[in-house]
Amino acid sequence: MLLLSNLWVAGGKLAFFLLQAADQAAGQGGAAAQTEDFSLWGMIQKMGWPARIVAIILAIMSMYSIAVMVERWLTYNAAKNQSRQFAPKVARALQENRVDEAINISDRHKKSHLAMVVNAGLQEFLAHQSGGDIPGSTLDAARRALQRATALKTAELRRGLSGLATIGSTAPFVGLFGTVVGVIRAFQDMKQAEGAGIGAVAGGISEALIETAFGLLVAIPAVWAFNYFVNKVESFTIEMDNSSSELIDYFLKKRELR
């Protein structure tokens, strides 16, 4: 966020400098300046093609980040809700030593992160169990299966977050590039129309201001969403680790009883 604030300050200083330079020449062009349209749409219409291309790139980045935010929010909500339904059901089935039913319950909650991990551990446990004994190799195989399932589910939950991080870190620089383009255009307009008032540099100033604001507008939500979703993934990972430990404890108790 410090970087974003520094970029905002830099863009504001550039725009302020240009406005000061334009005000010095406004004495001869006051009447012309009154006819300029300084509304948001009016400033957008004054943008040159390089600035419009930068704006289009930022718009694409914004749409992608919004799509990722919506998709991840729906995925995490589904995982949370199904896990709440899954946990008490599978716990009851395991307390009654109905492993097959526990597997069936996990199969019916495919969006739950806990169900995926528990299912992997139970499947591996049944595949290596021989007769009534539960050797240490069976517990080791179940433990490895739980670790693999946790790693796979964590990677799946993190899908798309790297894109949000990239957008959050690069969008201000894309906006800053558009700001530089606007500043260059403003100086060119000042050179070509000396003493023509603020209207001569209105296009360049508008490009600089809009591109800076647009870059920050794209970056800030992406950074917020990335931090929020990373915390959610960490919370899900802790829940999966706890479920894995509880399942291993269940296997150990079952072996002791036998």
Give the whole-angstrom CA distance, residue 235 versus residue 17.
Answer: 48
Domain locations in the chain as residue ranges: 2-25+49-257
- Give pLDDT, residue 224: 96
- Give pLDDT, residue 53: 87
Q: What is the mean pLDDT of each run of 10 residues along the chain (258 residues)?
A: 46 48 45 50 67 88 95 95 92 88 91 93 81 71 92 94 94 88 75 60 70 90 96 95 90 74
62: CB partners within 8 A, 6+ apart: 217, 218
- Give pLDDT, residue 4: 44
- Give pLDDT, residue 144: 92
- The answer to whether residues 164 and 68 touch, using CB atoms and an 8 Å cutoff, is yes
